[in-house]
Structures are given as C-alpha cells and as structure tokens.
Structure 1
C-alpha cells in the first residue's frame, strides 16, 4: 500500500488548511521544491500536490513551480487544483507531471473527463471530496447534491482507474480518519481508492492498511507529516509490510 505525502501550495508556499478553510492556514515551508526532495529522500514513491490557488480560482496558478517540483524529483508527481480543460491537462502533463487529478470537472464537465481518459488513460485520477456523503467542489466552497458514491460509480463506468476519496470533515484536523466511511466507499467500486483526510497517527495508518482487502490501495498524509506526528518512513513500513 502506498503512503503519499501531500504538498499543498498557496502563494508559492507549502501550507496546510483545516477543512479547506483559507482563514485556517499554516505555512510549513516557503520552499515546496525542498519539501518534495525531502519526502523523496525519506522514501516516498509518489508525491501529491494541490494548487490551492488554482482550486479556489478555477485556473491553475502555480504551474511553473509545480513543473520545477516535478523535474526536481525522480518519483511520480500527481497534481490537482484548477485543472478543468484539456489544454491545462496537456500543459501539466507535458511539464513532467505523471498524473492529473480532476475534481470539479467530474461534476460540471463530464465530456472533459471522457476526452482526458481517452487521450491520457491512467494518467487521469478523479478526486471525490465528500462532506456528509455529498460531493464538494471548487476548493470545497460548493457542496453539490451529488452523492459521493453515485459519482464514484459514474466515473468508474467512464473508465477511471483510480479515485482519491477525501473526507472533508477530517481534513487537517489531526483527529483520525473516517475508517467506516472510507471502507463503505471503497467497497462500492472495483477500482483502487486512495484514502485522504485525518490520518494523524501510526495507529491510523494501521487502520487504513487494514482496508487494503476492501480496495484501498494507498493513503495521502499531509499535516501529520509536517507536525511530526507521523514519520514518513515509519508509516511506509506499516503500509508496505504491515505492523
């Protein structure tokens, strides 16, 4: 099982928010390139990047910096936030990014999702961000009427090969993941699910690892790595071997 460190970028800095709220921002590093190199040095096999400026504005804002990050490490980088048209997808992938994460597009522009899947296949990941079982989009500013599990089935039928599932209530809280919700979500689809939100102790890592049999193939860890509540190498050891 993969453990994927997260780098959220806002204003060129590596930050963490609480439940996606800008007023609850903590800057953990002014050098996201250094952070990516650090996570790689500690053994990360993949790095998760979100352009928060892009997520909130609807247009990717930190592409130059993201390309710099992708070129500074030898592990695959996945990127989301403000990627909502084919031209942006092409620009991001041509910059050395391995996978593009689409969220809002899956709700408002399924044609883009279908076209992207046809052209780029498994380089496209769908992110489903859930609040109370419903999908949140646009930097989590808008809660839709679409049920998370219904969207998951819909994108699976389109041919998506991987879904990131985030429980917004848990994100940045350091209070543990919604294991029951993640399990229920993963059981509804046949494609791999990456769990995100609230993973804050090694015990949480063990609990997510136990969901491997239910279709959870990895976990994204953010704030807990920056606060040192979790050491990446220890989390990876549990996820890869059990413990």
Structure 2
C-alpha cells in the first residue's frame, strides 16, 4: 500500500479540519511548501493536496501554494478541490501535478469526468466523500442524494486511476478508518480504492493492510502525521507489510 501524506490548504496555509468543518481548522504550517519538503525528505512516495477554499467556492483558490509545493518537491502529487472544468484540469496537469481528483463534478457532470479520463489516461481520480454512505459535495457543505457505491460504479469503465473514499465523520477525528465501509466499496469495484479519513495510529494502518487484497491500494494520513502519532517512515514500513 502507498502512504499519501495529506496537505490541506486553507487561506494559503497547511491546516487540518475536524469532520470537514471549515470553521474548525487548526493551522499546522504557515508554509505548505516547507511541509511538503519535510514529507518528501522523510521518504513519502506521493503527496495528497486539497484546496479547501476551492472545494467550497467551486474554483481553484490556493493555486500559489500548490505551485510552491510543486517547485519544492519532485514527489508525484495529486490535488482535489474546486477542479470542475476541462480547462482547469489541463492547467493543473500542465503545472506539474501527476493526478487531479474530481469530486463534486463527478456527481454533477459525470460525463466531464469520463471525457477527462479519455484525454488524460491514468491521471484522473474520483474523490467520493460520504456521510452515512451518502455523497457530500461543494466542500462537504451540501449533501447529495447519491450513494457512494452508486457513484463509484458510474465510473467503472471510464479509466479512473483511483477512487479516493473519505468517511467525513472520521476525517480529522482520530477515531480510526471506516475499514468495513471502505472494503465494501472496494469489493464492488475493479477500480483501485484509496482509503481516507480517521487514521490515528499505526494500528489503524495495520487494520487496513489486509484490505489490500480487495483492491485498496493506499491510505491518506493527515492529522496523525502532524501531531506525531505517526511518522512517515513508520507508516511506510507498516503499509509495505514490514514488521
């Protein structure tokens, strides 16, 4: 499994939210680029970025911070949040991102996601953020009527690189990953799944590891890395199945 350290961007800073609440943001680093460099130096294979302001406003907001990160590191990087047009996807990929994550637009315009997958094979992921199995949109500020599994199944033959599944109620809450829901989703798909939300310890990663056989290829870790409960080298070691 791959470790994806998370860098969530709000107002140009590296923050963590509690259960997706923009009003409950803790700033962990004023320099997202410095944070990215620290993760890269520690040995991570990927970085996971989220433009939180962009997700709410519907267009990229923290572009300057993302570009600084891309200048600072050579680690493959994926970004989600406010990317809702073909033009925006093109701009980000040309800027140096390895992969873009489409969330709200996957609910509202699935045809755009499929077109993007054809245009940029292997470089489009779909972010599915759910409360009680129902997808939330617009930076988690609105609830759709679409079930997470139904949304994922829409893209089974589209060539999506991965489904990033987040249990919103676990995100930032340090209560462990919703392993059962993530496995259930992965079992119904051929598309690889990346687990997100709730990792609080190496034991949470160990619990997730057997799910690799169901197609779960990685885990996104945020707050646990920032408060020192988990380190990048230890997380990588566990996810590689080493003791």
**Are 1:125 and 2:133 counterparts?**
no
- Look up the SS of the partner of 1:140 in the other structure: coil
**Unpaired stretches in structure 2, ≥5 consecutive residues:** none
Q: Report what 2:33 is aligned to.
A: 33
Alignment of 1:103-142 (within 5 A): 103-142=103-142
Q: Measure, in 2, the Cα distance between the counterparts of 1:18 and 1:79.
A: 20
Deviations 1:96-155 (A, max 9, x none): 111000001111112211221111111100001111011111100111111100111111
Alignment of 1:45-124 (within 5 A): 45-124=45-124
Q: Measure, in 1, the Cα distance between the counterparts of 2:165 and 2:88.
A: 23
Deviation of the 1:73 alpha carbon = 0.7
Query: How many pairs are equivalent?
Result: 243
Q: Measure, in 2, the Cα distance between the counterparts of 1:114 and 1:33.
A: 32
- Look up the SS of the partner of 2:101 in the other structure: strand
**Unpaired stretches in structure 1, ≥5 consecutive residues:** none
Between Structure 1 and Structure 2, the one with more helix by share is 1
Deviation of the 1:241 alpha carbon = 2.7
- Look up the SS of the partner of 1:59 in the other structure: coil
Deviations 1:193-237 (A, max 9, x none): 000000110100101111101110000000110011111110100
TM, length-normalised to structure 1 = 0.98
Structure 1, 94-103 or 152-161: larger mean CA deviation: 152-161
Deviation of the 1:191 alpha carbon = 1.5
TM, length-normalised to structure 2 = 0.98
Aligned CA RMSD, in angstroms, stands at: 0.9
Q: Measure, in 1, the Cα distance between the counterparts of 2:182 and 2:90.
A: 31
Q: Measure, in 2, the Cα distance between the counterparts of 1:161 and 1:38.
A: 26
Q: Report what 1:213 is aligned to.
A: 213
Is contact 2:59-2:82 (8 Å) kept? yes
Is contact 1:67-1:92 (8 Å) kept? no
Is contact 1:106-1:155 (8 Å) kept? no
Q: Report what 1:3 is aligned to.
A: 3
